[in-house]
């Protein structure tokens, strides 16, 4: 009888674990990405370069716009439902909330998609400036961690 109770508890525990894992969504690995340079755009003098980052062929790519600012270089990363800024300054390379003037994503939607705690952790990723190619690799690697688990499908 005791053996039957232990087996029943074990089976129920495994079922509950599998249901909660599926309900919360197991975070997909975003190790593979493709960065593409956009060359044929008529952009303003303030925009230095534009790239797209794709994590899969099924979703729209994320756009990265490079701008020179008074503090250094700013990379504005924008998807359909989120936007974030990565800065490359004398203080280092890291993420911060994007200025309202740099995005068309409503603030409420952006705050629902972006993980505020992770954004604070990524405030300084490296303590020094980096070149564009390295910055793009860092952005593509760190961006999935900024997206709340319920919204990771926006990248895949």
Kindly list the domain boundaries of the chain, sorted by start residue.
28-154
* CB-CB contact of 102 with 95 (8 Å): no
**Most confident option among 8-12, 43-47, 106-110, 152-156:** 106-110
Which residue, 67, 50, 59, 107, is CA-closest to 83? 107
Name 62's bridge partners: 53
Q: Is the pLDDT of residue 37 over 60?
A: yes
Q: Please give the share of the chain, as a percent, with pLDDT higher than 90.
A: 44
Q: Is the pLDDT of residue 141 over 60?
A: yes
Strands (DSSP E) contained in 15-147 are 34-38, 47-54, 62-68, 72-78, 83-89, 92-96
Q: Is the pLDDT of residue 19 over 70?
A: no
More confident call, 156 vs 133: 133
* CB-CB contact of 106 with 113 (8 Å): no
Which residue is listed with tokens 């603030």? 107
**Amino acid 33: pLDDT:** 85
Q: Is the pLDDT of residue 149 over 90?
A: no
Name 88's bridge partners: 73, 93
- The burial of 50, by beta-carbon neighbours within 10 Å (0-12 exposed, 13-18 middle, 19 or more buried), is given as middle
Q: How far apart are the first and last CA of the chain?
A: 48
Ramachandran angles phi, psi of 94, nearest 5°: -170, 175
**152 half-sphere exposure, CB direction, 13 A CA radius:** 14
Extract the tokens encoding 56. 């899969």
């Amino acid at each position: 009888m005791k053996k039957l109770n232990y087996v029943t508890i074990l089976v129920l525990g495994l079922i509950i674990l599998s249901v909660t894992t599926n309900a919360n969504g197991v975070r997909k690995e975003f190790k593979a990405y493709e960065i593409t340079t956009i060359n044929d755009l008529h952009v303003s003098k303030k925009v230095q370069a534009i790239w797209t980052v794709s994590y899969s062929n099924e979703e729209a790519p994320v756009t990265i716009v490079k701008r020179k600012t008074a503090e250094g270089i700013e990379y504005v990363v924008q998807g359909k439902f989120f936007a974030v800024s990565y800065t490359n300054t004398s203080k280092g390379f890291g993420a911060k909330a994007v200025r309202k003037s740099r995005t068309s994503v409503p603030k409420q939607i952006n705050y629902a998609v972006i993980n505020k705690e992770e954004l604070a952790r990524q405030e300084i990723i490296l303590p020094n400036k980096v070149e564009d190619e390295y910055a793009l690799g860092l952005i593509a690697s760190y961006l999935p961690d900024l997206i709340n688990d319920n919204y990771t499908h926006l990248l895949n």
